[in-house]
Structure 1
C-alpha cells in the first residue's frame, strides 16, 4: 500500500534504518529488468531477473553463519500481544526470504510457496524485492528457505530466478505484492514438489478470518521462529486490514484464509505489507485483484 495523507502507515522494513547488519555489505551485482519494447504498450508487470552466476553466488553467500548473524543483528523490541508463536503442523510452505537490500545490507522478509503451473512460485511483498517509486533500487542475492525454524533448514535453499512486481509499485509505490520464481534445489527438485503449495485466490470477498504469519524481528524470536496473528479482515484505505502487531521481517508473510493448523493448508488472500504506526496494532495487505493476478501469472510461466 502506498503512503497516504490519511494514515501513518509504515512499510514493514523495520524501525528506523530497517533490517540491516551494521558494516555488512555485498557488492551490488547487476540485475536485469525485463521491459517491453519501446513500440509496445507498457507491460503492467516489471520483472527483475537474476543471472545463473548471480543465483549461484546467492546460494554461496547465505551461509548458516550469515543467516545466524543477520537475526542477531536486529532487535525491534518485544513481540506484541497479538503475535503468537505458530503452533500446529509444520508449515513447509512458509519460510524466510534472505537478500541484500538496495543499501547493501543483509536482511530478510517472509515468503510462501503457492500452487503454480511451473511448481516454482512463491508470494511475498513488492518492497521485499525493490524500493517503491525507485526503479534502480533493487535487492540482490535473494534466496528462499521454506520451513525455516531456529536455524534449521529442513527443505533446503532455493535461489530466486525472477521477481515480478506491479509496474505501479516500481514507479508509484502502489500494489505491494510480488511473485517469485525460484530455481530447483540442489537435487533438481522443484519447490512445490518438495514443500507443497498453498492455494491462492483473487477477487475474494473481504470479511473472513485469516491467519497472518511471518518471521518478525521482535524478541525473543528475532526471525528464528514463525509468528501468527489471527483476525477478521475489513477494508480500509483501499486495502484490507486485520488486527496484528507483527513487524519488520514479517513483510511478505501470507494471509491464509480457511487455514487449518492440523493440515497446514489454507488459501493465500494477501501478504503482510504495512503497519499503522511504530507501535503497531494493525496490519495492512493488498486486495488481490487483476494486477496481482498478472504478477502471479508472470511468475508461474517462467
Structure 2
C-alpha cells in the first residue's frame, strides 16, 4: 500500500454527534474498501455468521508485517509526520504534563486506511500477558467499515521530543468491539504488542497502569495525549484535568485536546508524583471542531470482553 504524508483532516465519528480525534490523513481517495490483514470476505456463510456473533473483532499482523512496521517508523519519519500536521494552537484547558515521568503512556504510530502516516496515544496496563496497550478503536480501524483497517502499528512508550527511552514495540494484534466495526459504537481497543529487541515484555520494561471496568462515573480524571497542536505538534505529552460526568451514554470532562490525543488514557485517582492511576476510559471524541469537552466510553461489559480477549492472546 502506498505511503504518503497526511493532509490535515479530522474525521467525524461516534454516532454522528461528535468528532474523533485521530490525526487522519486524506491524501488517498479510496476507490474500494482496503482489505484487512486477515479478511473473511471469501469465507463460507457459516464462518461469517460465527464471526458476526463474536462481540470482539481481532486484527492480526504477521511477523513479517511487524518487522516491517519497526523498520518503517524511523526517527526521520516520526519527525516528518509531526511536522506535516498542524491543528492550530493548543487550547487553554490543555497543559504540558509536568509530573513524574509517565513511562506507560506513549505515541502509537501507524499508517491509516487512506495510506497516510499518522498517530494516536496509548497506555500500557496491567494484564495477564504483560503486553497490553489500551487505545481508541478508531486508532485501529475505520468505524462502520470492516475492511478499512490501519497497518504498520508501533507503540513508543514515554515518547518525548524525538526520544524513545524505552524503545518501540510492534503491535501483534488489535482487539476492538464488533459493534465499532459495524456501527461505530464502543470506541476502545486493546492492543497486544511484541516483546522488545531484548526479549522483554512491555510492562516489565515500563510498568503498568491499573484498569477498572464498571466503575461509577465521577470524580477527578486526568486525560493525557499527544495532540497535533502548536507549539508541540505531538512531540510532548499534554493533559487536561476535570470532573467526569455522564452525557449521551458516554462520559466527558472539560478538555480541548485535539487530533493525536485519541486513545490517550483517562486516569482516575492519579498521583502526579508517582505517575500512577487507574484507567477508566480513553480519549474518543470532542464535541466540536474546537473542542470544549472530551468524551470517553464507559468501560462496561463490552470493554471487559475486548480487554480479556487481548490479555489472554
Q: Which residue of structure 1 lines up, in the alignment, with residue 6 of structure 2?
A: none
Answer yes or no: is the 8 Å Cα contact 1:19–1:108 preserved in 2: no
Quick check: 1:37 aligned with 2:13? Answer: no
Q: Which residue of structure 2 lines up, in the alignment, with residue 273 of structure 1?
A: 284
Q: Which residue of structure 2 lines up, in the alignment, with residue 11 of structure 1?
A: 20
Q: Which residue of structure 1 lines up, in the alignment, with residue 161 of structure 2?
A: 150
Quick check: 1:166 aligned with 2:177? Answer: yes
Answer yes or no: is the 8 Å Cα contact 2:135–2:265 preserved in 1: yes
Residue correspondence of structure 1 range 79-228 to structure 2 within 5 A: 79-228=90-239
Q: How does the TM-score come out when normalised to structure 1?
A: 0.93
Q: How does the TM-score come out when normalised to structure 2?
A: 0.90
Q: d(CA) in 1 for partners of 2:38 and 2:222?
A: 35
Q: Where in structure 2 are there 5+ consecutive unaligned residues? A: 1-12, 29-33
Which of structure 1's runs of 4+ aligned residues deviate more than 3 A?
33-41
Note the C-alpha offset of 1:37.
3.5
Answer yes or no: is the 8 Å Cα contact 1:33–1:46 preserved in 2: no
Cα 1:19–1:226 shift into 2, 3 Å: farther
Q: d(CA) in 2 for partners of 1:92 and 1:64?
A: 19
Answer yes or no: is the 8 Å Cα contact 2:25–2:114 preserved in 1: no
User: SS in structure 1 opposite 2:79?
Assistant: helix
Answer yes or no: is the 8 Å Cα contact 2:14–2:285 preserved in 1: no
Answer yes or no: is the 8 Å Cα contact 2:172–2:193 preserved in 1: yes
C-alpha offsets along residues 203-261 of structure 1, whole Å, 9 cap, x if unaligned? 00011110000000000010000000000000001000000000000000000000011
User: SS in structure 2 opposite 1:32?
Assistant: coil
Quick check: 1:235 aligned with 2:241? Answer: no
